[in-house]
Amino acid sequence: MVYVFLADGFEEIEALTPVDLLRRAGVEVGTVSIYPDRKEVTGARNICVKADLTIEEADTANAELIVLPGGMPGTVNLLECKRLMDIVDAFNEKGGHVAAICAAPARILGSKGLLKGKNATCYPGLEPLMEGATPVIKTVVTDGNITTSRGLGTAVDFACELIALLCGEEKAKEIRTSVVA
């Protein structure tokens, strides 16, 4: 299971492109509202999405991957969710795969020290916040259990990298070709 966490102000393309393409690849994906009392989450462009689960319902202990989309103030809202940050810490400590795009690699993973000694990318200009990382200007970077990407324009590449990690390069190529990317 893959969990994509949503907070008010999330970047819709960065969250929903991975959901869509991973599901096309046959991966079970759950969208998760960080709010324990509601599934409706409003994106940065005022698109309201009904998440599959609330954070209280997500069984992250058995997840294969967790995804943190960017967007403002979505990234800040994710960072301020103590329960989610506890999940990210526990997941990372056990070597679980964490993926973040746009501002999330810098503002969340960087601020938590999870990028130390790793190659990583993020939204241009936020590289100084990726504490301890070696900034790389590529659309997507995977280093160990961390995958990072630059922004909404790299969402398809980000999603295909996640498919490659979970299902192999052939499946990623198949999905990329099927969506004419």
Please list the active-site residues.
102
Quote the CA–CA distance of 49 and 177 in Å, as a whole number. Answer: 27
* Helix, coil or strand: residue 68: strand
What one-letter code names the amino acid at 117?
Answer: G
* Helix, coil or strand: residue 34: coil
Taking the CA of residue 145 as centre, how many other CA atoms within 13 Å lie in the half-sphere pointing to its CB?
A: 16
Contact between 84 and 133 under an 8 Å Cβ cutoff? The reply is: no
